[in-house]
Amino acid sequence: MHIFEHIGRAVTQWCCVFIDFSRLCIDTVYWGVMSPIKKKPLHPQIVSYQMVFMGIQSIIIVFFVMFFTGIVLAMQSAPQLIQMGGLIYVASLVSISICRELGPVLTALVIAGRIGAAITAEIGSMKVNEQVEALDTMAVNPVRYLVVPKLIALFFMLPCLTVIGDVSGLLGGYLIGVHNLRINSGLYIQTALKFLTLKDIYTGLSKSFVFAVIITMVGAYQGFKTQGGAVGVGRATTISVVTSFILVIIADALMTSIYYFSGY
pLDDT tens for 122-153 read: 999 988 888 888 888 887 788 888 899 999 99
Task: Give me the numbers of helices (H) and strands (E) for the chain, helices first please.
Answer: 12, 0
pLDDT tens for residues 199-228?
888 888 999 999 999 999 999 999 998 888
CA separation for the pair 172, 121 (Å, rounded) = 34
pTM of the model: 0.90
Across the chain, the runs of DSSP E, i.e. the strands, are none
DSSP, res 181:
S
- Cα 165 to its chain centre, rounded Å, is 12
pLDDT number for residue 58: 92
CA separation for the pair 47, 154 (Å, rounded) = 10
CA separation for the pair 106, 108 (Å, rounded) = 5
pLDDT tens for residues 80-131?
888 887 788 898 899 999 998 999 999 999 999 999 999 999 999 988 888 8
Residue 166 has pLDDT above 70, yes or no: yes
> Residue 130: left if φ>0, alpha if ψ -120 to 50, beta else—which one?
left
pLDDT number for residue 70: 93
CA separation for the pair 138, 140 (Å, rounded) = 5
Picking from 235, 51, 25, the residue whose alpha carbon sits closest to that of residue 147 is: 25
pLDDT number for residue 36: 65
Q: What is the mean pLDDT of the chain?
A: 88
